[in-house]
Every structure is written in structure tokens, then in C-alpha cells.
Amino acid sequence: MQVSVIVHVIGPDRPGLVEQLSAVIRAASGNWEGSRLVQLAGQFSGMVQVVIEEEKVPALRDSLAELEDSGLHTSIAHITKGDEETASDSGLSYDLEVVGQDRQGIVAVISKTLAAEGVNVVELTTDCTLAPWSGERLFKTNARLLVPDSIDAADLLQKIETIAGDLMVELHPAELEAR
């Protein structure tokens, strides 16, 4: 029987990591179905969804463990049928963009506001850059949110904007993606 697993990876970035990881998955007769991989601060990190015969998961785990010698740490999480479609999948998808002067705790305050409303953060990217006009550090976040049907988007936007007057906040329905 085929099962779906998530392979987590993290380690020092270098050329060839994706090739090395994909070769291990292929050698175990796994199928690379989806992934989120990124290099951040010199580290390579990500998740790969792999569909594989259940009896081959131990061999995949053993082969991944051999990557530890090269500094790539891995783990495997099994996905159950209920994991892929959870109750948190109900609602409307929105894109959130927040830009403002960088300071400690922005993500904590925004995520607390979202959690209080029952909003699920599906994807999150953040970055700090220098403002071209002043040279001050700007914080920018982009998030894909799953907002419960019972939450009014305008009210949610207002709650996020009240966090700090100096944050520029945009909230709009996400583009529909083909599934």
C-alpha cells in the first residue's frame, strides 16, 4: 500500500543538496509530489511530500540518515488521510501583506491577532530590508491565510491595523489556484 510522508530537511546550504535528496527519494522508489524548500541565512531547509510503498519507508529513513554525514539533518512524518483535509481547511483564502519599520515582536503580535480570530496561517514569508529613502530597517511579511467563513475580512483588517499605526496592511482574497 502506498503512503504519504513528509521529509523534513535542514543543513548548511551548498550546491547539489536537492539533487542528493531527490536521488535518495528516487532510490527508495518514492515519488516527490510537492515541496517547500528555501535557503535562509546560509541554511537550507524544507519539506518534501513523498508517496512511497509503506514497506519502503524504513529504507528511505535509513538512506536519509546517511545524509547526516554531510550535515543534512532529516526526519520523516507520516501523513494520515485525515491530515491532508482537516477542519482548518474550511474558510476563505486571503493574502496578507504587512510592511513597517522593523521592531521586535511584529510576528508575535500579528499571529496572536490572527489566532484569536481562528485564522490559520497556511504560508508565511518574512524579510527585513533597508528603506531606500531613509536606510532604516523595514519589516515585510506576506502570508496566505485561511479565514473562517464567520469572520468579516474588513473587521480582520481593522484588527490587524490597530496593532500599530505605522504598519501598512493589505488583505485581499487570494488568487484561486487550480488543484
Q: Assess whether 29 and 79 both reside in one domain.
A: yes
Q: Is residue 38 part of a domain?
A: yes
**Which of 84, 111, 127 is at the close of a domain?**
84
Q: Is residue 179 part of a domain?
A: no
Q: Is residue 148 part of a domain?
A: yes
Residues of the chain with pLDDT under 50: 87, 178-179
Residue 17 sits at φ, ψ, to 5 deg, of: -65, -45
Residue 146, domain extent: 87-173
Identity of the residue numbered 176: L
Q: Is residue 35 part of a domain?
A: yes
Question: How confident is the model at residue 13, as a pLDDT?
Answer: 96
* CA dist., res. 167 & res. 163, Å (int): 8
**Which of 84, 108, 136 is at the close of a domain?**
84
**Counted domains in the chain:** 2
**Which of 84, 116, 143 is at the close of a domain?**
84
Question: How confident is the model at residue 165, as a pLDDT?
Answer: 76
Q: Assess whether 111 and 41 both reside in one domain.
A: no
Q: Assess whether 12 and 79 both reside in one domain.
A: yes
* Residue in the block written with cell 474550511: 90
Q: Assess whether 79 and 103 both reside in one domain.
A: no
Q: Assess whether 116 and 49 both reside in one domain.
A: no
Q: Assess whether 42 and 103 both reside in one domain.
A: no
Question: How confident is the model at residue 90, as a pLDDT?
Answer: 77
> Any idea what the CATH number is for the domain that residue 160 is in?
3.30.70.260
Question: How confident is the model at residue 70, as a pLDDT?
Answer: 87
C-alpha grid cell, residue 136: 532604516
